[in-house]
Structure 1
Amino acid sequence: MAKPNKKGPTKTVDIFCKQCNQVLYKYRKGGKGTLVKCFIERISKDYTKTPCICPSCEIQFARKTLIRGTAAYKFIGGKVWFK
């Protein structure tokens, strides 16, 4: 399978923790679909101290994985939302 485009889309979205509404990432998302994964190279601003852990309520919201040969965070269902 093809790797994701390095430059990626120009539209950015803010990703929030569902439990405490803390901003987690500013992410360059492509398409209109739901937020299932987030490629690490497309994160433009990271507000977390440790990867995949919310800085305020300290719940785990994602798992680190490889998708199409590229490092990504796969979100746990119902833990994050974006706008």
Structure 2
Amino acid sequence: MAQPNKKGPIKTVDIFCSSCKTQLFKYRKGGKGALVKCFKERISQDFTKIPCICPSCERAFARPALIRGAPAYKMIGGKVTFK
């Protein structure tokens, strides 16, 4: 399997918790589809204290996973939004 592109896209999106609207990440997302996974190497700013847990409402929004051999977060459906 091919590894994800290290450099990644230039465009960043802000990822928010869907229940309390707290900002979780600034992420270099490629494409215009839904946010299914976040590769850790593409996260430019991380506002969480505990991985995959929202800092204000303490809800889990993702699960750690290995995707194509790279560490990533698999998003739980409906728990995050992005702009």
The TM-score with structure 2 as length reference comes to 0.99
Q: Deviation per CA, 1:21-41: give whole Å up to 9, x if none.
A: 000000000001100000000
Identity within the alignment, %: 75
Residues 55-66 of structure 1 mapped to structure 2, 5 A cutoff: 55-66=55-66
Provide structure 2 residue ranges, at least 5 long, that are not aligned to the other structure. Answer: none
Provide structure 1 residue ranges, at least 5 long, that are not aligned to the other structure. Answer: none
Aligned length: 83
The TM-score with structure 1 as length reference comes to 0.99
- 2:42 is aligned to 42
Structure 1's consecutive aligned runs of 4 or more residues displaced over 3 angstroms after TM superposition are none
